[in-house]
Amino acid sequence: MTVGELGEFGIIARITARLAPGPTVELGPGDDAAIVAAPGGRVVATTDVLVEGRHFRRDWSPPYDIGRKAAAQNLADVVAMGARPTALLVGLGVPPETDVAWVEALCDGMRDESAEVEASIAGGDIVRSDTVLISVTALGALDGPPLTRAGARPGDVVAVCGRLGHAQAGVELLERGLREPAGLVDAHRRPRPPYTAGLRARELGATAMLDVSDGLVQDLGHIADASGVRIELSGDAVPGPPVPDARRLALTGGEDHAFAATFPQETALPAEWQVIGRAVAGPAGVTVDGRPYGAGGWDHFL
């Protein structure tokens, strides 16, 4: 059965039957708007749009993985702010000939990824579109000071948690028509943000944090600019995928949604955090082994 055959309200009913409200959702799908509790009184909100052919390909990724990826990149943004994710709002555009089973699997992926952090899908919209378009808005509860990009200080160490360069390695394999190594291909299909470690970063004393979505050097440049510091990285300390071109991929590859953060120098970091550099006084920017590293990083319009 296709979406066009089932109709708008039929597909909405099929989707909502697969969802269960999380602990913070007081009123989920079915009314004009959802009601989500905001413990702490402040809400963190973020949104991303995924366009077929630009952010995913249906011949590369099954719908379940696309759903998990769409949710993960938004949930990671909430966690990077030092907040606990509570709910997702999903806008979905699909061609009428799309199989209902494809949409159901997509929503199952978003539901299961949200469950990793005890969040849930609280509502959304579905429309007819010439291509698949997924817009996800994530909400989170902030019960303390936010972790922004502007808090890094000279003397802080720079550390990362999670995979770097794996997703880009997977993309480059798929572009060559390869499906192995499967672990790298899967890294593109379904990122695995280290949510638990990210949620603990503020307790460890993190001064700034973000998720690595557009490339490590490019993203750390945002912290450097916002904080007015220079970030000096040691290339050998940056973890990368098990491929010959690991350093380039680790420094410039995006969509792994690892977390990069700065911490006071004396912080005793747990094993999942790997120190890769430091913040120092000086002109804002990022260097690798003492030199600017200007190539690479993601830009939607390049």
Q: What are phi and psi of 19, to 5 degrees?
A: -110, 150
Contact yes or no for 165/241 (Cβ under 8 A): yes
pLDDT exceeds 50 at position 37: yes
pLDDT confidence band for 40 (50 / 70 / 90): confident
Q: What are phi and psi of 130, to 5 degrees?
A: -75, -25
Q: Which of 254, 271, 261 is nearest to 80 (CA)?
A: 261
Q: Kind of pairing, strands 230-233 and 285-288?
A: parallel
CA distance 216 to 83: 22
pLDDT at 302: 45
Cα end-to-end span (Å), the chain? 38
pLDDT confidence band for 184 (50 / 70 / 90): very high
CA distance 207 to 113: 27
Question: Which one is predicted more confidently, 299 or 124?
Answer: 124
Instruction: Please give the mean pLDDT across all residues of the chain.
Output: 95
pLDDT confidence band for 295 (50 / 70 / 90): low
Instruction: Provide the token pair at 115.
Output: 């469950």
pLDDT at 102: 98
Question: Which one is predicted more confidently, 300 or 221?
Answer: 221
The distance of Cα 20 from the centroid of its chain, to the nearest Å, equals 23
Residues 82-92: tens digit of each pLDDT: 999 999 999 99
pLDDT confidence band for 296 (50 / 70 / 90): low
pLDDT at 297: 60
pLDDT confidence band for 111 (50 / 70 / 90): very high
pLDDT confidence band for 227 (50 / 70 / 90): very high
SS3 239: coil
Span 203-231, average pLDDT: 97
pLDDT at 298: 54
Span 8-18, average pLDDT: 93
Residues 54-109: tens digit of each pLDDT: 999 999 999 999 999 999 999 999 999 999 999 999 999 999 999 999 999 999 99
CA distance 119 to 78: 11
